[in-house]
Amino acid sequence: MKNRLLWPLLALVALLLLNLVVTPSFFSLRVQDGHLYGGLVDVLKNGAPTLLIALGMTLVIATRGIDLSVGAVAAIAGAVACVHIGTSDSAGTAIVGMVLALALCALLGLWNGFLVAGLGIQPIIATLVLMTAGRGVAMLVTEGQIVTVNNTAYKQVGAGFVVLPTAILIALLVLGVVAFVTRRTALGMLIEAVGVNPEASRLAGVRSRTIIWTVYVFAAVCAGIAGLMISSNVSAADANNAGLWIEMDAILAVVIGGTSLAGGRYSLTGTLLGALIIQTLTTTVYTIGVAPEVTLVFKAVVVIAVCLVQAPKARAALSFRKVAVPS
Binding stretches for another protein (CB under 8 A):
66, 115, 119-122, 124-126, 128-137, 139-140, 143-144, 239, 248, 251-252, 255, 261, 291, 293-301, 303-304, 307-308, 311-314
CB of 193 to another protein, least distance (A): 21
| Nearer to another protein (CB atom), residue 40 or residue 147 | 147
| Nearer to another protein (CB atom), residue 189 or residue 314 | 314
CB of 290 to another protein, least distance (A): 9
Neighbours of 184 (CB within 10 A): 9
| Nearer to another protein (CB atom), residue 189 or residue 308 | 308
Between the alpha carbon of residue 71 and those of residues 80, 112, 135, 171, the distances in Å are 14, 14, 9, 17
| Nearer to another protein (CB atom), residue 14 or residue 304 | 304
CA distance 41 to 62: 29
CB of 181 to another protein, least distance (A): 28
| Nearer to another protein (CB atom), residue 90 or residue 241 | 241
CB of 122 to another protein, least distance (A): 6
247 contacts: CB under 8 Å, gap ≥ 6: 53, 57, 67, 68, 69, 70, 71, 131
Neighbour-count burial of 243, counting CB atoms closer than 10 A to its CB (0-12 exposed, 13-18 middle, 19+ buried) = buried
Contact 209/118 with Cβ under 8 angstroms? yes
CB of 261 to another protein, least distance (A): 5
CB of 311 to another protein, least distance (A): 4
Of 74, 48, 70, 44, which is closest to residue 57 (Cα–Cα)? 70
Q: What is the DSSP letter of 227?
A: H
For the chain, give the longest Cα–Cα distance.
Answer: 75
CA distance 279 to 15: 10
CB of 316 to another protein, least distance (A): 10
CB of 114 to another protein, least distance (A): 11
Between the alpha carbon of residue 209 and those of residues 3, 199, 201, the distances in Å are 33, 10, 10
CB-side neighbour CA atoms (13 Å) of 246: 32
| Nearer to another protein (CB atom), residue 13 or residue 301 | 301
| Nearer to another protein (CB atom), residue 133 or residue 186 | 133
| Nearer to another protein (CB atom), residue 17 or residue 133 | 133
195 contacts: CB under 8 Å, gap ≥ 6: 61, 62, 63, 64, 262, 263, 264, 265, 266
227 contacts: CB under 8 Å, gap ≥ 6: 49, 73, 74, 75, 76, 77, 78, 101, 105, 242, 243
